[in-house]
Chain A
Amino acid sequence: MNLSPLVIELMQLLVLLAAAPVFAGWVKTVKCWSQGRTSPGLLQPYRDIAKLFSKDMALAENASWIFRFTPYIVFGSTLLAGGIIPILSVDLPLSATADVIALVALFAIARFFTALAGMDIGTAFGGMGASREMMVASLAEPAMLMAVFTMSLASKSTSLSQIAQVIAHSDIHMVLRPSLAFAFIAFVMIALAETGRIPVDNPATHLELTMIHEAMILEYSGRHLALIEWAGMMKLFLFMSLGAAAFFPWGIADEGNMLAVPMALVYLIIKLGLAGIILALIETGLAKMRLFRVTEFLGAAFLLATLGMLSHFILE
Chain B
Amino acid sequence: MNTQTTAQIIGFLAAMVLLTAFGMLVQRRIYGLIHLFAWQGLFLSISTAIVGYMTGRHHLYISSVLTLTLKVILLPYILNVLIHKLKIRKEIDTVVNVPLTMLIGIALVILSYHLTAPVRELSTFVTRSVLAIALATVMIGLLMMITRRHAVTQIIGFLAMENGLFFAATSATYGMPLVVELGVAIDVLIAAFIFGIFFFHINTTFDSLDVEYMARLKEED
Which A positions have Cβ atoms within 8 angstroms of B?
A: 172-173, 176-178, 181-182, 295-296, 299-300, 303-304, 306-307, 310-311, 313-316
Contacts and interface: CB of A to CB of B under 8 A. Distances in A.
Interface string B1-33: 000110011011011101100100010000000
A178 B12 contact: yes
B18 A307 contact: yes
Interface in B92-114: 98-99, 102, 105-106, 109-110, 113
B133 A314 contact: yes
A300 B133 contact: no
For B15, B16, B18, B99, the residue with the greatest tally of chain A CB atoms inside 10 Å of its CB is: B15
A314 B110 CA distance: 9
Nearest to B112: A314
A182 B19 contact: yes
Interface of B: 4-5, 8-9, 11-12, 14-16, 18-19, 22, 26, 98-99, 102, 105-106, 109-110, 113, 129-130, 132-133
Contacts of B8: 173, 176-177
Nearest to B16: A178
Contact of A307 (B98, B99, B109, B132): B109
Nearest to B5: A173
B142 to A, nearest CB: 18
A296 B132 CA distance: 26
If over half of B's interface residues share one DSSP class (helix, strand or loop), that class is named, otherwise mixed; here it is helix
Residue of A173, A295, A304, A311 with most chain B CB atoms under a 10 A cut-off: A311
A116 B106 CA distance: 35
B4 A173 contact: yes
A306 B113 CA distance: 14
A303 B15 contact: no
A178 B11 contact: yes
Nearest to B28: A296
A181 B106 CA distance: 17
Nearest to A139: B99
Given A315-B129, A315-B130, A299 B15 contact: no
A177 B19 CA distance: 14
B38 to A, nearest CB: 20
- Nearest 10 interchain pairs by C-beta: A178-B15, A315-B11, A299-B99, A303-B102, A314-B132, A311-B15, A178-B12, A315-B129, A314-B113, A306-B106
